[in-house]
Amino acid sequence: MEESKLISTITERLDSLSNFPKMKENKSISALMQENGISRRDFMKWAAGMTAMLSLPSAFTPLMAQAAELTDRLPVVWLHMAECTGCSESLLRSDAPTIDSLIFDYISLEYHETVMAAAGWQAEHNLEEAIAKYKGKYILMVEGGIPAGSSEFYLTVGPHGKKGAEHAREAAENAAAIFAIGTCSSFGGVQAANPNPTNAKPLSQITSKPVINVPGCPPSEKNIVGNVLHYILFGTLPSLDAYSRPKWAYGIRIHDLCERRGHFDAGEFVQQFGDEGAKKGYCLYKVGCKGPYTFNNCSREKFNQHTSWPVQAGHGCIGCSEPSFWDNMGPFEEPLGDKLYESICADATADKVGVAILTVTAVGIAAHAAIGAVKKDKN
């Protein structure tokens, strides 16, 4: 669709959404920002960043700001399955709230076990009521792997002892959009790691409804909030890769935009933590970085208000947004080397990403070794 037509379609959608009843009557997002010392200018800068992150032209920035102001019109049901709550914590636990975390606060969370006051019978009642009241309109976000099949009883929730899988299936049935938040919900995560004692499965294997995977351990707050905003703007599924991850967030490899990439290409590697190479910021591949195998936007968007990310801090990527990373990417501080790691390709440009990258990496390291040897000879 051409840009001007898309802008008018989105404008119409946002206008009609703004007629929906406000779920947070007492406070606007602007007031919330002001209270937390965030100026309108900062907010618009953030909106411009979000627009770029979703790969939209800058003309969409005012619409992005408007979409953020409307996040209280969409009810969200957030379920916890077998997990550590790290995905929720990544949004909730910051001493200086980011704009993303404020927007998460502002979203109309109709049910979220970590942040709601209700417990026991009342909590279960709230969930049933939210599902019935907002039938077909709510966004469902599920965190955690889900014990399945004859092992469903490994996870029961609430005073009726209802199985987690049952909760997830029922909530998915009438949701307008479904997001699997984190690697556990997207791919099973640590719960599904060998020997997978609870037969944990990803959400997509529990429901037959389309599920958008937002993996990461945890996913960044930007990727969670970005998905909500994308849904508010377009009301449709984003373009997805082979693992049902939105391409705007998971379309590039960590390695592609890593600040240490120049050292990888030049064959300059950290040989062990704390050595001279580590002090010079060399590439972490030889101490286990899985950036070449991992699709995520960490190297571009970073964490903690864009201040840093694991590779910048000195540890390699452990591939947390890839399926079965607990089983496939270890040991985390050793390179995969010639261990076979095959994966269906997420970007459809190569057949087997693991094999293709391993070959290139092996060539890169061999080239480095050769160059190093020549340099040594010359010296």
Which of these segments, 141-149, 240-248, 311-319, 367-375, binds ligand SF4 (CB under 6 A)?
Answer: 311-319
Binding-site string for ligand SF4 from residue 263 to residue 282, where x marks contact by CB under 6 A and - marks none: -x------------------
Phi, psi of 48 (to 5 degrees): -65, -40
Count of CB atoms situated within 10 Å of the CB of 334: 12
9, amino acid identity: T
Closest residue to ligand SF4 in the complex (CB): 291
On whether the CB atoms of residues 295 and 213 are closer than 8 A, the answer is no
> Which residue number, 13 or 315, has a Cβ lying nearer to ligand SF4?
315
Q: Does 250 bind ligand SF4 (CB under 6 A)?
A: no
Q: Check binding of 317 to ligand SF4 (CB under 6 A).
A: yes
Choosing from 310, 323, 354, 364, the residue that interacts with ligand SF4 (CB under 6 A) is 310
CA–CA distance, 282 with 63 (Å, rounded to integer): 41
In the complex with ligand SF4, which residue's Cβ is closer, 234 or 273? 273
222 binds ligand SF4 (CB under 6 A): no
The least CB distance from residue 236 to ligand SF4, in Å, is 26
* Residue 21 and residue 8 in contact, taking contact as beta carbons nearer than 8 Å: no
CB of 322 to ligand SF4, least distance (A): 8
Given 175, 283, 353, 358, the residue binding ligand SF4 (CB under 6 A): 283
For position 71 contacting ligand SF4 by CB under 6 A, the verdict is: no
Per CB under 6 A, 285 contacts ligand SF4:
yes
Closer to ligand SF4 at the Cβ: 97 or 216?
216
Q: How far is the CB of 51 from ligand SF4 (least distance, A)?
A: 22
Task: Quote the CA–CA distance of 57 and 60 in Å, as a whole number.
Answer: 6
Q: Which stretch binds ligand SF4 (CB under 6 A): 82-90, 99-107, 200-208, 256-264?
A: 256-264
| Contact between 3 and 59 (Cβ < 8 Å) | yes
Q: Which of 185, 244, 296, 328 is close enough to bind ligand SF4 by CB under 6 A?
A: 296
Please select the residue that binds ligand SF4; options are 284, 336, 353, 357, rule is CB under 6 A: 284
CB of 95 vs ligand SF4, minimal distance in Å = 21
* Distance, CA of 245 to CA of 295 (rounded, Å): 9
- Which residue, 154 or 293, has its beta carbon nearer to ligand SF4? 293
Q: How far apart are CA 255 and CA 264, in angstroms?
A: 9
Of 7 and 266, the one with the shorter C-beta distance to ligand SF4 is 266
> What are the structure tokens assigned to 1, written together?
């669709």
Binding site for ligand SF4 (CB under 6 A): 216-217, 254-255, 258, 260-261, 264, 283-285, 289, 291-292, 294, 296, 298, 309-311, 316-321
